[in-house]
Amino acid sequence: MTKRTIIPFGPQHPVLPEPIHLDLVLEDELVVEAIPSIGFIHRGLEKLVEKKDFIDFVYVAERICGICSFIHGLTYCIAVEEIMKIKVPERADYLRTIWSELSRMHSHLLWMGLMADSFGFESLFMHTWRMREKILDIIENTTGGRVIFASAKVGGVRRDIDSATLKSISKSLESYKNELKEITDIFIKDSSVQHRLVGVGVLKKGQAYELGAVGPTLRASGWSIDTRKLGYAAYKNIDFEPVVETSGDSYARCVVRIKELFQSIDIIRQLAGKIPDGPIEIKITGNPDGEFFARTEQPRGEVIYYAKANGTKFLQRLRVRTPTFANIPSLVKMLPGSSLADVPVLVLTIDPCISCTER
């Protein structure tokens, strides 16, 4: 009978950017059981709809998570707009999509840096975040904020991007692609990185579907499911296919995110080319009455916003189902049987955003 030790992993741990607690039962560096304990970030913000009116609430929705912030705001706006049966102007749709893709890029770059750091490759972490600063520059140029954009609002967007800026963004992204390729090649081809990622945390195709995984976690196991294909905002006007890999291990999830990075650059350039002129917002009158399910694709997967309104300026109920919440069963399935050195890699491979999960 080998000796069992229990290691408390988190909530404060250098590898974890957010507090989550796992009691890892180990037998000689092999994880036998992982007992999670959550609730450190629960704020209870869904109840704030009763105190902040539906137009102001978009600022709270944006702050559910600082990394996927824009798309949270966007989905909330879509939910309320569909209840009120408002159609936002086309230019606003295009702008929203551009910011969503920029958001996706900075989130994937952030994830790549944290992943490199978790397996001890600090240089790669620094270089990836250095590349990410350039995307943040574009975002700051167009919205004024690096992390929380405050651009989406019910009825459209708050700021416009003029065509000269759009052209320069398009151009700079083209040259950016080559620099980015140098760094992503390390993730894909370097042998020590592969040693840490290949074969770690395998999720077979059937398992991924049954456990309810979403986003890159699902697409790396062979399913071609991407909520952007629903055609919300300006996605109906562009050409793209979901990125799919079949091996279902951490390496595949990494490759999916890297390919999505390049796909986003492509999408932004397509949008910058096609964007129509016109107004960027539409005036809101009256209060919402009704209910709607809005679904969009965040960098981590599909997010669902259920909003119910009853004719007053406060929404009656808002319920958010975030992608990390759907991916956690997959994490709990992958942990037993792995070694201690793999635990940070596994926790990061589903791209956890605990503040989204616990709201």
CB of 41 vs other proteins, minimal distance in Å: 5
- If one asks whether residue 198 binds other proteins (CB under 8 A), the answer comes out as no
The sign of the dihedral angle between the CA atoms of 251, 253, 256, 257 is negative
Q: Is residue 19 a contact point for other proteins (CB under 8 A)? A: yes
Binding status of residue 185 toward other proteins by CB under 8 A: no
Helix axes 69-83, 90-118, angle to 10 degrees: 150
CA distance readout (Å), 314 to 69, 209, 310: 22, 37, 8
| 295 token code pair | 């679904």
Q: Which of 25, 30, 129, 159 is close enough to bind other proteins by CB under 8 A?
A: 129
Binding piece for other proteins, criterion CB under 8 A, among 2-10, 86-94, 287-295, 302-310? 2-10
Q: Map residues 237-276 to x or -, x wherever contact with other proteins holds by CB under 8 A.
A: ----------------------------------------
3-state helix, strand, coil in the chain (%, to 5): 50, 15, 35
How far apart are alpha carbons 31 and 62 in whole angstroms? 37
Q: What angle do CA 278, 72, 170 make, to 5 degrees?
A: 50
Near other proteins in 98-117, by CB under 8 A: 110, 113, 116-117
Residues 330-349, one symbol each (x = binds other proteins by CB under 8 A, - = not), give: ---------xxxxxx-----
* Count of residues that interact with other proteins, criterion CB under 8 A: 66
- For 37-60, the DSSP string reads E--SS---GGGGGGTS-TTTHHHH
Cα 20 to the chain's mean position, in Å?
18
The binder of other proteins chosen from 147, 188, 198, 282 (CB under 8 A): 147
- Euclidean distance between CA atoms 74 and 99, whole angstroms: 10
What distance in Å separates the CA atoms of residue 170 and residue 83, rounded to the nearest whole number?
35
Widest CA span in the chain = 72
The reply to whether 323 sits near other proteins by the rule CB under 8 A is no
Q: Which of 49, 54, 69, 166 binds other proteins (CB under 8 A)?
A: 69
CB of 37 to other proteins, least distance (A): 9
- Are 105 and 136 in contact by the 8 Å Cβ rule? The answer is no
Burial of 140 (0-12, 13-18, 19+ CB in 10 A): middle
Give whichever of 88 and 131 is closer to other proteins, judged by the CB atom: 131
Near other proteins by CB under 8 A: residue from 33, 59, 90, 329:
59
Binding-site member from 40, 176, 306, 314 for other proteins (CB under 8 A): 40
Nearer to other proteins, 58 or 83 (CB): 58
| Residues contributing to the site for other proteins (CB under 8 A) | 5-8, 11-15, 17-19, 29, 39-45, 47-48, 51, 59-60, 63-67, 69, 110, 113, 116-127, 129-130, 132-133, 145-148, 190, 192-193, 195-196, 339-344, 353, 355
